[in-house]
Structure 1
Amino acid sequence: MVNKFISGTLILTLSGFVVKAIGSINWIILSRILGGEGIGIYQMAFPIYLLALEVSSAGIPIAISIITAEKVAKEDYLGAKRIFHVSLTMLCTTALVLSILVFFGSRFFIDEHIIRESRAYWSLIALAPAVFFTTVIAGFRGYLQGWRQMAPTAISQITEQIVRVITMLGFASFLMPYGLEYAAGGASLGAGFGGLAALLVLLFFYHRLQQSLPKIQAPLYPQDNVLHILKRLVSLSIPISMASIMLPVVSNLDLLIVPRRLEVAGFTTHQATELFGYLTGMSVPLVTLATILTIAMAMNLVPTISHYFTLDNKEEIYQRTSSALRVSFLVTIPFSVLLFVMASPVVTFIYNAPAAAPATRTLAIAIFFLGMHQITTAILQGLKRPKIPVMNMIIAAAVKVCCNWFLVAIPTLGIRGAACATVADIGVAALLNLIFIYRHTGYLIDIKLILRNAFAAIIMGSIVSLLYMFLHVYVPLVISLFLPCAMGMIIYIGIMMITGGITREDVSKIPYFNRFAHYLN
């Protein structure tokens, strides 16, 4: 069971890196094809598309995953299948309605100036089919994850991204001679084709799963009626969707507060806009990139915790909680330190914007709390307590607003005050989650574990910083950046092995690395 959990997490992590890498390359090429104006047209349609997706699925996939895991734990395979059929019917209906509304409502959005750029019409039209496909594939992924099968999600994500990028670049290049708006619309078609490709992959895995199940003539348990299933889906999905909605809500609060408070601190409107762009457009993506592993682990944790919660196996819930947070600390603490000490070369290499370094350095601390928040939220959702993370996020958002209001207006802090507010926001939400996890599982955070990781990470950070200061004078930036970071991670792993932070048992559980376990004492 442990190996299956670790394998699933590694598969999702790898797919996350691959999808991010392909997406980054695609963005560079697409920007060269469309230019700044074309990218602007392309981006104009996305808020409507994302809103339609949020309404059409609204936390349902995670709810499917939770309930499916519950049925599978009791070996109620017919019940799991029934849950999926009802939820898929609901998802298909809402997705189809919203796809049609987006398609036929595109002209309304333009005419009423909801989208102020009339040339975004074709982009919005092209995104309409993607609303349907993306919603349906989310349902399939949730069901298969409920069976704790993570490979279908990973393979479908990579397939979706590859097909999306190929069709996006192909249509954009082909339609460019006909006008910028048609090229942007062609690029938007990629989302629909990618979704269709992912759906075909998931249908294959779904069919294979159904073929592998025993042929059951009569249900082992009383089967839930449709109304009961819908009530459960809605009761779980609403708080889950509210948790996802909180992120853009908090971002919009930042948009309202931070630039204005920067002006109070003495910055011009232009400077405030530039500083805000450094934080939201450069620093934040680096922090989220560093938590790909914890995102994958959280996705895997929801059905796993739900499975053991259904069986009332408190010991396994405790062990999974402890292991997940231990791995989170093992990964996020060194990444926090690494981004803190290497903020300047990182933003210079990636964005050619050394001025983004102060905000990035401050925000680096958020990596630790963000990983903790993702894991604890997943655990609480698996424990059928999805409302708790939402309430904690609301409290944390209030803390962030207060911090933004006071800290950003301090001239010596400026945008670093906003970064501090973000750290406080995520930190408060994560720590509140931990309090409730203690109440429900008895898990108490191991301070010694965090201190041991921090000790190893600080030594690593010091060595990396010294190496960079020596190398950057003599070698190109790419070498002076990556060589110290690579050596630093090796040093960190070595220290953790020496101090017992990484044990032979840990290595033996990792696929492909378990063959090296016997070398450790």
Structure 2
Amino acid sequence: MSKDTFLKGAFILTVAGIVVKIIGSVNRILLSRLLGGEGVGLYQMAYPIYLLALSVSSAGIPVAISIIVAEKLARSDYRGANRVFRISLGVLAATGLLFTFLLYYGAGWLIEHNFVRDHRAYYAIAALAPAIFFVTVLSSYRGYFQGLQMMTPTAVSQIFEQLFRVVTMIAFAYILLPRGLEFAAAGASFGAGPGAAAGLLVLLYFYWRHKPGFKHQMDTQPQITQESSLSIVGRIVKLALPVSLANIMLPVVSNIDLLIVPARLEVAGYTVEQATELFGYLTGMAVPLVNLATILTASLAASLVPAVSEAYTLGNRQRIYQRTATAMRISNLITIPSFVGMALLATPISLMLYGTPNAGLAIAILAVGIFLLGIHQVTTGVLQGLGHTAIPVVNMAISAVVKIIMSWVLTAIPSLGIMGAAWATVADFGVAALLNMFFVYRYVGFSLNIKDTFKAIVASAVMGAVVLLAYDLIMSHTLHNTLATLGSITAGGAAFGIVLLLVGGIEARDIEQLPRIGGKMADILIKLKLLRR
């Protein structure tokens, strides 16, 4: 049983995240084609409510587990780390069960009081309720393994969870579609339950597989005075409450869209059906693509929490700075070209993935938020690892206020409509990212490296030109959007990598940090004189 290094852990989670997103993208494509914009809109009206209930019941505690377990392990207190996990597991099981019943029996109340404007979403909301218990218990195991800096169990469970979720979603949606669109959307929502149960079984397997090793470490550790159960619960609550509130802000933002966007689109002159369809384009098609582009930054953030917590416990400020700088540098090398490419190919991507060009405008605008969201995710991981878990929630609350105001005003303008809602979301990401950066500079002394960022911008600009030329060239010869889109993405990615090497945006140490293949790849690039030490 050996823990993963910081970057290895991020790499493992990233690979799993890519697989999960690929499966999820296939799901979005199939679901969009099966249900259409209106059906996806019904599904999206239920899903933010599920995320809100889930965030309240489980989101903060896994991060708190990760922080405290990493702290215990830094002091070689394996017995204490295991006690933290067992206590938190009991708390999560109880809260998960409570919120399962609350969501199931509260679905009708949400419809009756017009929190959800389309009454057809009732079945989709109720169908999501059973998933909360399984996901809540599952999250306690993930928090424990991440605190141990063992990311493989989390990665494997994520893949199995998504696979079973997608299969059951599509199957139930297809079976129930003849009964009506609202029942098909409910069938899609129900898939979250079997998926979470499959992920939980995977984590149980890893736990029992490593249990002898856990027991050996606890039996052979030095005698350490154990923290009382009451103290552990108090620390978990102290750390988890702000993190839960911060995570609640994400579904709260989604619920802001749910409450404001369709209603303000109606003010702008759209019918209820048209507003639902546009809402589906924004939240069901554009937002998932933005999340797809930030898989690595989300993985870096998850890996940063225990890594920074460990370094902070040992008083190693230099290691905290180095890990923060590495994570931010890698984040920018992913998010900046992703933003440029997605903005330029928004409509072709929408047509390729969803069979409609209508989501292209929302995708192009939200692409701006990829870079900002990456910064926000990484800095949140750093602040949580330092134990300053209250700061991100305050920053997100401030950014949410900005979003509310902008969504209310801009979406009702007929010339903007759904574009106004998209720009409000970008502003939300930007305000939260800037505020987080201020506090990271205050506590770590880190600020964005202008030189490295400029190199990434230059490479992305060249990439953008190549993308447009390649799309026009391939499209003119084949008249096939999918081939032109994939070909231009490939050409643009190659151009970005080459230009980045030429301007010195990547160094040997960056490549060498990649697990397994890094050393050999760096040697090859050095021999080709594309890289220098």
Percent of aligned pairs with the same residue?
A: 50
Q: Which residue of 2 aligns with 1:460?
A: 463
CA offsets per residue over residues 256-299 of structure 1, 9 Å max, x none?
555666677x6545666655544333322221211111111111
Question: How far apart are residue 326 of structure 1 and its match?
Answer: 0.2
3-state SS, counterpart of residue 59 of structure 1: helix
CA offsets per residue over residues 348-376 of structure 1, 9 Å max, x none?
22234334333332322111101010101
Letter in 2 for 1:199: L
Q: Which residue of 1 aligns with 2:397?
A: 394
3-state SS, counterpart of residue 454 of structure 2: helix
Residue 370 (structure 2) pairs with residue 367 (structure 1): yes
Q: Which residue of 2 aligns with 1:63?
A: 64
Instruction: Tell me which moved more, 293-302 or 188-197.
Output: 188-197
Q: Which residue of 2 aligns with 1:74?
A: 75
Distance in 2, Cα, partners of 1:279 & 1:30: 15
Instruction: Tell me which moved more, 493-502 or 26-35.
Output: 26-35
Question: How far apart are residue 50 of structure 1 and its match?
Answer: 4.0
Within the candidate set 459, 468, 475, 1:472 is matched to 475
Pairs within 5 Å for 1:144-159: 144-159=145-160
Letter in 2 for 1:353: T
Question: How far apart are residue 222 of structure 1 and its match?
Answer: 2.2
Within the candidate set 514, 523, 526, 1:518 is matched to 523
Q: Which residue of 2 aligns with 1:286?
A: 289
Pairs within 5 Å for 1:182-331: 190-213=191-214, 214-216=217-219, 220-258=223-261, 267-269=269-271, 275-331=278-334
TM-score by length of 1: 0.87
Question: How far apart are residue 161 of structure 1 and its match?
Answer: 2.3
Letter in 2 for 1:369: L
| Number of residue pairs matched by the alignment | 518
Letter in 2 for 1:501: G
3-state SS, counterpart of residue 298 of structure 1: helix
Distance in 2, Cα, partners of 1:400 & 1:107: 26
CA offsets per residue over residues 50-109 of structure 1, 9 Å max, x none?
454233224111111111111111111111011111111111222234445566x47976
Is the 1:3–1:510 Cα contact (8 Å) retained in structure 2? no
Pairs within 5 Å for 1:339-488: 339-404=342-407, 407-408=410-411, 413-475=416-478, 476-488=480-492
Question: How far apart are residue 306 of structure 1 and its match?
Answer: 0.9
Q: Which residue of 1 aligns with 2:135?
A: 134
CA offsets per residue over residues 400-438 of structure 1, 9 Å max, x none?
344445555666655444333322221121111111111
Question: How far apart are residue 505 of structure 1 and its match?
Answer: 1.5
Distance in 1, Cα, partners of 2:173 & 2:418: 37
Instruction: Tell me which moved more, 421-430 or 73-82.
Output: 421-430
Is the 1:393–1:429 Cα contact (8 Å) retained in structure 2? yes
Q: Which runs of 5+ in 2 are unaligned?
A: 527-531
Letter in 2 for 1:482: L
Distance in 2, Cα, partners of 1:188 & 1:348: 25
Q: Which residue of 2 aligns with 1:10?
A: 11
Is the 1:259–1:269 Cα contact (8 Å) retained in structure 2? no
Distance 1:428-1:88 versus aligned 2 partners, 3 A rule: same
Question: How far apart are residue 111 of structure 1 and its match?
Answer: 10
Question: How far apart are residue 143 of structure 1 and its match?
Answer: 0.5
Question: How far apart are residue 168 of structure 1 and its match?
Answer: 4.9
CA offsets per residue over residues 98-146 of structure 1, 9 Å max, x none?
445566x47976997888869966x777655432221111000001000
Distance in 1, Cα, partners of 2:429 & 2:32: 32
Distance in 2, Cα, partners of 1:324 & 1:173: 42
Instruction: Tell me which moved more, 62-71 or 360-369.
Output: 360-369
3-state SS, counterpart of residue 359 of structure 2: helix
Is the 2:64–2:240 Cα contact (8 Å) retained in structure 1? yes
Is the 2:508–2:522 Cα contact (8 Å) retained in structure 1? yes
Is the 1:377–1:433 Cα contact (8 Å) retained in structure 2? yes
Letter in 2 for 1:434: M
Is the 2:107–2:122 Cα contact (8 Å) retained in structure 1? no
Instruction: Tell me which moved more, 107-116 or 278-287.
Output: 107-116
Distance 1:45-1:417 versus aligned 2 partners, 3 A rule: closer
Question: How far apart are residue 187 of structure 1 and its match?
Answer: 5.9
CA offsets per residue over residues 171-213 of structure 1, 9 Å max, x none?
6677889999988777665433333322222122223333224
Distance 1:27-1:491 versus aligned 2 partners, 3 A rule: closer
Distance in 2, Cα, partners of 1:294 & 1:111: 36
Distance in 2, Cα, partners of 1:31 & 1:356: 12
3-state SS, counterpart of residue 443 of structure 1: coil
Distance in 2, Cα, partners of 1:341 & 1:37: 26
Instruction: Tell me which moved more, 41-50 or 85-94.
Output: 41-50
Is the 1:61–1:139 Cα contact (8 Å) retained in structure 2? yes
Is the 1:41–1:117 Cα contact (8 Å) retained in structure 2? no
Distance in 2, Cα, partners of 1:494 & 1:245: 41
Q: Which residue of 2 aligns with 1:509?
A: 513
Distance in 1, Cα, partners of 2:164 & 2:171: 10
3-state SS, counterpart of residue 492 of structure 2: helix
TM-score by length of 2: 0.86
